[in-house]
Chains A and B, each alone.
Chain A
Amino acid sequence: MNPIFEEIKDAIVDGDEDLAIELAERVVAEKIDPVQAVQLGFIKGIEEVGAAWTSGEAFLPDVMMAADAMKAGMDVLEEVLAAGEGEGAYEDKGKIVLGTVEGDIHDIGKNIVGALLTSAGFKVYDIGIDQKAEEFVAKADEVGAKIIAASALLTTTMKSQKVLVEYLDDNNLRDKYKIIIGGGPTSAKWGEDIGADGWAETADEAVELCKQLLG
């Protein structure tokens, strides 16, 4: 086994974004098998962090920095992976567009959800805070996402989650995407009321939810 895979794994476990990029660039430059780099390096690393998280040994900075490092490294490999280089193929577990709804700037919870989804093998496109329904859908369309995940932390911005569902209805896109929602003041009942496909109270549950919806 190429020793670089072990180095990649360690970079992810250490949450070292710069090193993850550097190593990914070496993979490309030295024409090392990118699929193996992903499977034996990046995924191994993030799985290790994920396991430590589940057992309560890892804390948020560990997981979030590992997810960031993974994302940064994977972005470097994106082109060679898309070109089908390497043995076999690498596929993510599914693409998810994630954002905080219009009028709302709370993003800590959203970022945690994004990190845990990334570490569970999903490809997350985080469009940021204060985002309109159109913007969620435009991104989902662009990247071919299956799930749209919307966070709201204010009772006054929860209705933007409803607007998002209605926007899909109005544009006959409702069957194309699964919509999931979350954030402090939301509830399972609110999810049902607005016709979302799922709601989760915590980031861990959000991961389970996405696995179910795409499983």
Chain B
Amino acid sequence: MLPKFDILTDEQINKIHKNSLKILQEIGVEFSYDPAIEVFKKHGQRVEGHRVFLDPDFVENMVEKAPAQFTLHARNPEHNLVCGGENVIYMPGYGAPFVYDADGGKRDATMADYDNFVKLAGASKNIHMTGGTVVEPTDVSDDIRHLKMAYSHIINSDKCFMGSSSGYEFARDAIELTALLHGGLDVIKEKPALICLINSVTPLKYDDRMLGGLMAYAEAGQPMVIASLVMAGSTGPATMAGALSLQNAEVLAGITLTQCINPGTPVVYGSTSAVTDMSTGSLSIGNPENALFTSASAQFSRFYGVPCRGGGGLTDAKTVDAQAGYESMMVLFAASTTGVNFVLHTAGILQYYMAMSYEKFMVDDEIAGMVLRYLKGFDTESDEKMAYDVIETVGPGGHFLTQKHTRKNFKTEFYRPALSDRQSFDGWSKDSLDTNQRAKLKWQEVLANYTPPELDPAVKEKIEAFIEKRSKELMK
């Protein structure tokens, strides 16, 4: 693995860290959920109404309790994932309400799309887990959406996945389903198997629903991503250092709460901060500023000793075009080379999280494969890899194409593109397909050939019974 590089000096880290602590101590953070307020009071923090003022030493001590890394367990242990350290975990986009088609069409996302994206993630060798809320399945009532989504992840793949964080009750449902899959709540408490996304409400707030979710995961010992999305220029200051300080304060406050509830609960420091387009007010994510926020967050996570979430195949483009490609590569590359561990939104996103696209998913899958290869760097371990002997054999003026050494090594040393076109002009011009068109053929082929790994029928039955029971209760 390549060493991850820093983008901030120690002095800059210190300055921003201090700025964040001052925000927490003097401006404070609003927690709308009463049980959270009680927790802070019990820990001796100053509370006025719903505003909590956090003592800097207290914050540092609590954040220290969070583990530097943890293992997320999959139904198939081959897909267990270590989150932290040098590792990077890729997964599909999260939360988009729309699907954009190859021909430029726009439609509401459905449960069928949901299943498809989970399958594409399940089939990919570059995408390590199947994510969560891979689209918003708008054709399913939101009373039971979280159950259907969890079921899709469980049934369509044996990789790790994410659960609902929409309030205490829904979060509990997701946790119980995962417990059924793994053999009990005590099993997953020992071996965490579900992770969720908790977002602050920038600037400086946490709402009831999210905090309810946070309490449920913390109690059950399941990991969570505590993330802040500062839109610099609108929900945060227009300066990079100011927006980063604000984000950092929010994430620290969230992590502090998790460690108060259950010390040692695995948490991931999360950032999706980016900038506001000052002509339209919309979020803009496919840019150098987002890449900088992402890399800085990775560095802050190292500083605090926790894993990091950030970045992704992020773009503001509406279709799979050059913009979609160059923006996504920039942000995913920055995230991966500067030490982000958990990359939500790796594949599929178009137009600042508003849409998922099947074609974009395949493009991002390719980008992910390229970046993963880059991260492996040079292998200089063995004489075989140093290749002196074969250089000697061929000598001046020969070629290597017919050497055993070549035949043996090229497959593991070179990344083989799945989507990119490397043909001659004549070869390409037989069909003249651009990336968008090739990606369309590709995902259709992948889906057609995918068989979900079988789930133990007894477990499946229990899970279905649980979903049926809860659906009845919730649809009343």
Which residue numbers of A lie inside 8 Å of B, CB to CB?
56, 59-61, 105, 108-109, 112, 155-156, 184-185, 202-203
Contact A59/B278 with A108-B231, A155-B136 known, Cβ cut-off 8 Å? yes
Q: Is the CB of B278 within 8 A of A61?
A: yes
Q: Is the CB of B201 within 8 A of A105?
A: yes
Count chain B residues whose beta carbon lies closer than 8 angstroms to a beta carbon of A: 17
Q: Is the CB of B142 within 8 A of A108?
A: no
Distance of A156 Cα from B143 Cα, bound (Å): 10
Main secondary structure of the interface of A (DSSP, over half): loop
Contact A112/B138 with A155-B97, A185-B97 known, Cβ cut-off 8 Å? no
- The reply to whether the CB of B234 lies closer than 8 angstroms to some CB of chain A is yes
B136 shortest CB reach to chain A, Å? 5
Contact A202/B234 with A105-B201, A105-B207, A155-B138 known, Cβ cut-off 8 Å? no
Distance of A112 Cα from B282 Cα, bound (Å): 10
Can you list 10 contacts pairing A with B, beta carbon distance less than 8 Å? A56-B279, A60-B234, A60-B279, A61-B233, A108-B281, A155-B97, A184-B97, A185-B97, A185-B136, A203-B280
- The reply to whether the CB of B98 lies closer than 8 angstroms to some CB of chain A is yes
A173 shortest CB reach to chain B, Å? 28
A-B contact count (CB 8 A): 35
Q: Which residues of B contact A184 (CB under 8 A)?
A: 97, 354
Q: Which residues of A contact B231 (CB under 8 A)?
A: 108
A112 shortest CB reach to chain B, Å? 5
Q: Is the CB of B138 within 8 A of A202?
A: no
Contact A108/B136 with A60-B279, A61-B278, A156-B142 known, Cβ cut-off 8 Å? no
Distance of A82 Cα from B97 Cα, bound (Å): 46
Q: Which residues of B contact A156 (CB under 8 A)?
A: 142
Q: Which residues of A contact B281 (CB under 8 A)?
A: 60, 108-109, 112, 203
Q: Per-residue CB proximity of B124-145 to A under 8 Å, as 1/0?
A: 0000000000001010001000
Q: Is the CB of B97 within 8 A of A108?
A: no
B248 shortest CB reach to chain A, Å? 22
B139 shortest CB reach to chain A, Å? 11
Q: Is the CB of A185 within 8 A of B98?
A: yes
Q: Which residue of A lies closest to B352 (CB)?
A: A184
Distance of A104 Cα from B279 Cα, bound (Å): 24
- The reply to whether the CB of B235 lies closer than 8 angstroms to some CB of chain A is yes
Distance of A202 Cα from B281 Cα, bound (Å): 10
A194 shortest CB reach to chain B, Å? 14
Q: Which residues of A contact B207 (CB under 8 A)?
A: 105
Most buried by A among B142, B234, B281: B281
A121 shortest CB reach to chain B, Å? 21
Q: Per-residue CB proximity of B58-102 to A under 8 Å, as 1/0?
A: 000000000000000000000000000000000000000110000
Q: Is the CB of A202 within 8 A of B280?
A: yes
Q: Which residue of B lies closest to A190 (CB)?
A: B108
Distance of A43 Cα from B281 Cα, bound (Å): 24
Q: Is the CB of B234 within 8 A of A108?
A: yes
B324 shortest CB reach to chain A, Å? 19
Q: Which residues of B contact A108 (CB under 8 A)?
A: 231, 234-235, 276, 281
Distance of A202 Cα from B136 Cα, bound (Å): 22
Contact A60/B278 with A108-B234, A108-B235 known, Cβ cut-off 8 Å? yes
Distance of A105 Cα from B235 Cα, bound (Å): 13
B130 shortest CB reach to chain A, Å? 21
Distance of A112 Cα from B278 Cα, bound (Å): 11
B228 shortest CB reach to chain A, Å? 15
Q: Which residues of B contact A202 (CB under 8 A)?
A: 280
Distance of A96 Cα from B231 Cα, bound (Å): 28
Distance of A73 Cα from B138 Cα, bound (Å): 44
* Extra A-B contacts (7), CB below 8 Å, given A59-B279, A155-B97, A202-B280: A56-B279, A59-B278, A60-B279, A60-B281, A61-B233, A109-B281, A185-B136
